[in-house]
């Protein structure tokens, strides 16, 4: 009998190839589990949990960072808007940038 994975000659009564470690057809038919299956699955589950937690933490940090940046941008934008002068097209009076109506003539800005 030969291993389907590596082609090594193996005995008819073996469950695993001595060269590459793959389960033989006999082992598959008889339902012989791979010895590392349980540990491997636990390791994968643990790694996935850790990765998920790391991703969640990364998203949390990114979200907080973006909030801080948004606050800074908003603060700068408000400062800019308040520092810009707005002049009435009707009478030429100076108004604050956030004004909707002229403080002198009352026309819409």
Q: Following DSSP, what letter does each residue of 41-54 receive, concatenated? A: HHHHHHHHHHHHHH
**Rounded to an integer, what distance in angstroms lies between the CA atom of residue 109 and that of residue 90?**
9
pTM recorded for the entire structure: 0.41
Helices (H), 4-108: 25-30, 37-83
Residue 36: predicted pLDDT:
67
**Per-domain residue ranges for the chain?**
1-35, 36-96
What pLDDT, in 10s, does the model give residues 31-51? Answer: 998 776 556 777 888 899 999
Residues of the chain with pLDDT under 70: 36-39
DSSP, collapsed to helix, strand or coil, labels residue 68 as helix
């Amino acid at each position: 009998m030969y291993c389907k994975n590596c082609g090594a000659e193996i005995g008819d009564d073996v469950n695993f190839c001595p060269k590459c470690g793959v389960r033989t057809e006999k082992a598959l038919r008889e339902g012989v589990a791979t010895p590392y299956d349980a540990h491997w699955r636990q390791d994968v589950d643990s790694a996935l949990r850790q990765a998920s937690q790391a991703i969640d933490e990364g998203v949390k940090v990114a979200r907080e960072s973006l909030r801080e940046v948004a606050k800074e941008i908003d603060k700068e934008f408000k400062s800019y808007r308040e520092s810009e002068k707005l002049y009435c097209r009707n009478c030429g009076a100076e108004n604050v940038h956030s004004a909707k109506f002229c403080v002198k003539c009352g026309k819409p800005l």
